[in-house]
């Protein structure tokens, strides 16, 4: 399997994505931003089709669209949670519309659109892997730099304000990091199924671990298991890799819920 | 350690309070009382520097370090962090991601002070209301403040738990000399634990040693 260059590239890219998703996912879940993540991936779809239309790589189009819109959402919605929901759905609808428009305007075949939406393992080149590595490292480095404050602001926003943490500025920084992560992760699982990696492993992890670092390790582990096994099964069966990753992550989440159910029965 | 001089706060044309002056000394346990909407939280926000006074000044001792326990926190029953991890969230700033040995020891000390040691490794989501309030208190204390501000921390607790929480706070006040500002509606607690009071009303305020409060209150049950 590893004698094929595209499989080596896929495994390298998948590993990077799993690590970034596991780390970022823990904050996504703590900040209750699963819906926002999903929206960013739809915006990513519009960005990728714009990239095709403009003759760029889909990843660059995605980066442009997700970063700009994440700042927009951050500024428009502020701290008001109920307003955030409406702002997100408005922006989400607008960008899916734009995505469809750019697809129609560009003269690429429809299989290209499928690749963007559902992911493509075969399509990842060496150059893509390099770009993804640099982006992933940048994301992890920024998380490391703001780690203590981001942890406080994500897991206890009220307390963080009282403790003097710049919660609002951190919120925008986090959205930009999330935009970058979505664009990177979309390369393997596709933009429609991004939350498989960015939310499910972290959502499972909160039932198995009870510290931020513990949850990160568990989430990265769950994401790696899904990506590695998914790629292998995809290689064996020729079925879509995204399907296998989705099944594995959903199964882990199901197990996590069951474990939590029995644990809370024991303690009660 | 904190001196409020002729303070006034206006929101547009509405005056929340004016000509307010009081002092908090090292080791005080000050109760701030008054009906809802009279400006207790506004006063605290001004002390914390989150609001700018319309007039007057707040002078503080340069060594003043405030620990503030906010009134509301939205943590559900699936909140994953353990009590010890929750407490350590207040070690913020541009430092290494992991806690130093000194910081870990400080967490243990505070947890012991608040009698949370047996449940320190339990997820906070599964803790009781009183245990949660103690954890909030511990989080504020872990950064070693010399002034602790409690914003209606007992409001959601049953009578026994309230007493227990205030007993711990009084102990910190007496044994460690920690200065306390306690915002509350609960006259039973206010009469029992603090040594000074500040009573905010829509038409002015009064202050003094706690023993005088009961006399003032006779005839005016509306606090």
Do A248 and A230 form a contact (C-beta atoms < 8 A)? yes
Q: Does residue B195 have a pLDDT over 90?
A: yes
Give the integer Cα–Cα distance in Å for B174 and B27.
8
- Round the average pLDDT of chain A to a whole number and report it: 88
Strand partners, B8: B55
Which member of B72, B80, B121 has the closest CB to residue A215?
Answer: B80
Which member of B48, B81, B91 has the closest CB to residue A148?
Answer: B91
* Residue A181: per-residue pLDDT: 92
Q: How far is B138 from chain A (nearest CA, A)?
A: 12
Do A193 and A175 form a contact (C-beta atoms < 8 A)? no
Q: What CATH architecture is A5-267? A: Orthogonal Bundle (1.10)
Q: Does residue B222 have a pLDDT over 60?
A: no
What global pTM score does this model have?
Answer: 0.89
Which member of B92, B123, B139 has the closest CB to residue A148?
Answer: B92
ipTM of the complex: 0.87
Q: Does residue B178 have a pLDDT over 90?
A: yes
DSSP A26-79: HHHHHTT-HHHHHHHHHHHHHHHHHHHHHTS-HHHHHHHHHHHHHHHHHHHHTT
Q: Does residue B221 have a pLDDT over 60?
A: no
Strand partners, B10: B15
All structural domains of chain B with their residue ranges: 1-13+21-64+146-191+205-222, 77-143
Taking the CA atoms of chain A, what radius of gyration do you get in angstroms? 18
* Residue A81: per-residue pLDDT: 67
Please report residues of B whose CB lies closer than 8 A to that of A160.
89, 92
Q: How far is B57 from chain A (nearest CA, A)?
A: 21
Which one, of A44, A88, A56, A81, lies nearest residue A178 by Cα? A44
Residue that wins the pLDDT comparison between B63 and A114: B63
Q: Does residue A189 have a pLDDT over 90?
A: no
DSSP class of residue B123 equals: B
What is the share, in percent, of chain A residues with pLDDT greater than 90? 45
Residue B154 contacts A where some CB pair is shorter than 8 Å: no
Q: What is the mean pLDDT of residues B31-50?
A: 89
pLDDT digits (tens, 9 = 90+) for B119-168: 999 999 999 999 999 999 999 999 999 999 999 888 888 889 999 999 99
Q: Which helix (H) or strand (E) holds A221?
A: helix A212-237
**Residue B214 burial (CB count, 10 A):** 11
Please report residues of A whose CB lies closer than 8 A to that of B75.
156
Mutate to test the interface with B, among A162, A167, A169 (most CBs of B within 10 A): A162
* Residue B3: per-residue pLDDT: 93
Q: Which helix (H) or strand (E) holds B127?
A: none
Put simply, the chain B residues between 87 and 116 with a CB less than 8 A from any chain A CB are 89-95, 97-98
**DSSP-derived pairing of the beta strands B179-183 and B29-33:** parallel
Q: What is the mean pLDDT of residues A196-223?
A: 95
What is the share, in percent, of chain B residues with pLDDT greater than 70? 97
All structural domains of chain A with their residue ranges: 5-267
**DSSP-derived pairing of the beta strands B196-201 and B204-209:** antiparallel
> In the numeric block, which tokens belong to residue A54?
């403009």
Do B47 and B66 form a contact (C-beta atoms < 8 A)? yes
Please report residues of B whose CB lies closer than 8 A to that of A213.
97-98
Residue that wins the pLDDT comparison between A266 and B220: A266
Q: How far is A260 from chain B (nearest CA, A)?
A: 9
Mutate to test the interface with A, among B67, B76, B81, B83 (most CBs of A within 10 A): B81
CATH number of B1-13+21-64+146-191+205-222: 3.40.50.300
Strand partners, B181: B30, B149
Q: Which helix (H) or strand (E) holds B63?
A: none
Please report residues of B whose CB lies closer than 8 A to that of A152.
89-90, 92
Q: Does residue A50 have a pLDDT over 60?
A: yes
Q: Look at the block and give the residue holding tokens 């955030």.
A: A84
Q: What is the mean pLDDT of residues A104-123?
A: 76
């Amino acid at each position: 399997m590893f004698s094929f260059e595209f499989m080596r590239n896929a495994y390298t890219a998948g590993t990077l994505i799993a690590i970034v998703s596991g780390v970022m996912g823990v904050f996504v879940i703590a900040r209750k931003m699963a819906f926002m993540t999903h929206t960013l991936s739809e915006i990513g779809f519009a960005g990728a089709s714009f990239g095709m239309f403009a003759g760029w790589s889909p990843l660059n189009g995605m980066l442009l669209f997700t970063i700009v819109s994440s700042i927009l959402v951050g500024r428009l919605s502020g701290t008001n949670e109920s307003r955030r929901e409406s702002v997100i759905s408005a922006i989400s609808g607008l960008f899916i519309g734009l995505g469809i428009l750019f697809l129609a305007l560009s003269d690429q075949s429809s299989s290209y659109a499928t690749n963007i939406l559902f992911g493509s393992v075969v399509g990842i080149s060496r150059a893509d892997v390099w770009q993804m590595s640099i982006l992933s490292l940048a994301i992890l480095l920024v998380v490391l730099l703001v780690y203590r404050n981001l942890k406080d602001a994500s897991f206890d926003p009220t307390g963080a304000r009282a403790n003097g943490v710049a919660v609002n500025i951190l919120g925008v920084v986090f959205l930009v990091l999330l935009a970058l992560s979505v664009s990177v992760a979309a390369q393997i699982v596709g933009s429609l199924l991004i939350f498989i990696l960015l939310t499910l492993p972290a959502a499972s992890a909160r039932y198995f671990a009870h510290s931020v670092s513990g949850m990160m390790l568990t989430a990265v582990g769950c994401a790696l298991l899904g990506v590695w096994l998914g790629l292998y099964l995809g290689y064996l069966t020729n079925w879509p890799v995204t399907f296998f990753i989705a099944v594995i992550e959903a199964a882990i989440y199901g197990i996590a819920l069951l474990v939590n159910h029995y644990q809370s029965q024991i303690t009660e | 350690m904190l001196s409020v001089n002729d303070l006034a706060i206006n929101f547009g044309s509405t005056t929340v309070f004016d000509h307010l002056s009081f002092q908090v000394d090292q080791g005080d346990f000050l109760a701030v009382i008054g009906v809802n909407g009279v400006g207790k939280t506004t006063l605290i926000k001004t002390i914390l520097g989150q609001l700018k006074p319309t007039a007057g000044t707040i002078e503080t001792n340069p060594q003043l370090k405030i620990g503030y326990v906010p009134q509301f926190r939205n943590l559900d029953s699936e909140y994953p962090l353990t009590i010890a991890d929750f407490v350590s969230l207040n070690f913020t700033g541009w430092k290494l991601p992991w806690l130093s040995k000194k910081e870990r020891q400080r967490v243990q000390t505070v947890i012991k002070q608040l009698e949370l040691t047996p449940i320190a490794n339990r997820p906070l989501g599964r803790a009781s209301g009183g245990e949660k309030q103690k954890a909030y208190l511990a989080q504020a204390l872990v950064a070693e403040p010399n002034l602790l501000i409690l914003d209606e921390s007992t409001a959601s607790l049953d009578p026994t738990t309230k007493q227990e929480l205030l007993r711990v706070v009084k102990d910190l006040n007496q044994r460690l000399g920690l200065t306390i500002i306690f915002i509350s509606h609960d006259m039973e607690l206010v009469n029992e634990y603090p040594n000074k009071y500040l009573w905010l009303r829509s038409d002015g305020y009064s202050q003094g040693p706690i023993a005088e409060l009961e006399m003032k209150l006779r005839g005016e049950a509306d606090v």
